[in-house]
Amino acid sequence: MSSSELAPADISYHSPQDILAHPRFVAARTAFVDAVLALYEGDVFLTRLLLEAARTVIFGVIVSLDAQYDESDRATWPTMGLLKQQMTQFGLASPRRIEDLVARLIHSGFLKSNPAKRDGRVRLLTPTAEMLATDRGWLAAHYLPLHVMFPDPGYPQPIKDDPSFHRAQRLVAMGFLGHGAQILAGNPAMMLFLSRDAGVMILIKLIQMAGARDGHLSELSHEDTGALFGVSRTHVRKILQDAEREGLVALSGRGHRFVELKPVVWQAFDRFVAESMSGHDLLFKIAQRQMNTSAPIGLTMARER
């Protein structure tokens, strides 16, 4: 189901096609790449903890479940069972893997598991202040390209780290998890990188390097890149070799240090960025309306019209 099929009838937002055709798209893409690298480059802990598709999605779903939590409505309680249920539509992680990541988030101080006040037998997953701050930083990086492309009136709330907007946006996002799953499933070229530890950061680093040289060929140190993102040089080399087999990159030089990004991977990255921007724009418009009207956040979907 596309964003247009999910959007309320009176919400106007930018489509992926409009975004790709915009004259400032390249500037917006550059801003996004730089912002994501500023968040994670050199932070081995966060990169290893979060930057792989299943981990990223689980992190976001937990925050969204917390945003919708209503103590009086047991169906909204953010339990491990509800998290596993929401994750099935993505097909990214087994129940055991979800449990393992939740345990890591708890051990790392990002998440708490406490007994529910109304039923001590049930444990609720509650993000810590650090987890919420990390998620706000992630959202800011994803709204920055929209802010660059459409600065008037822009997207000040996520850019300025507004906690109220963050909660409203994550609450609205619960109704669009299926669309996020479709974006991932519909872009296998990106999934080759997204499904590996730090894979997407390696690609984003290559995008940044190629853009700075106004070309597609970059010299990449496997060892230095691995150190930046907390993986081995062998892991970096394996990702690039797999990408070459899929026709996404061409490797050359001693030790395959030179990496050429093929047009297909540029197109896949741009489409992925544009689809993500479009979805975030829609969520921004809905969340902003709900905040302005102080109405209960609920969606009248186009399919119900």
How confident is the prediction for the chain on average, in pLDDT? 89
State the pLDDT confidence band at 274, using cuts at 50, 70 and 90.
very high
Length of the chain: 305
Q: What would the mean pLDDT of 136-159 be, rounded to a whole number?
A: 96
Element (H, E) at 151: none
pLDDT of residue 215: 60
State the pLDDT confidence band at 305, using cuts at 50, 70 and 90.
very low
Q: Does 97 have pLDDT greater than 60?
A: yes
Read off the pLDDT of residues 208-218 as tens digits, 9 standing for 90 and up: 999 866 566 78
Read off the pLDDT of residues 102-135 as tens digits, 9 standing for 90 and up: 999 999 999 999 999 999 999 999 999 999 999 9
User: At 51, is the secondary structure helix, strand, or coil?
Assistant: coil
Give residues with Cβ within 8 angstroms of 23, minimum separation 6. Answer: none
Rounded to an integer, what distance in angstroms lies between the CA atom of residue 145 and that of residue 131? 23
CA distances from 101 to 23, 65, 153, 196 (A): 41, 16, 38, 15
Query: What are the structural domain ranges in the chain?
Result: 3-187+266-304
Read off the pLDDT of residues 16-53 as tens digits, 9 standing for 90 and up: 999 999 999 999 999 999 999 999 988 888 888 887 88
Give residues with Cβ within 8 angstroms of 176, minimum separation 6. Answer: 3, 6, 279, 282, 283
Rounded to an integer, what distance in angstroms lies between the CA atom of residue 260 and that of residue 124? 47
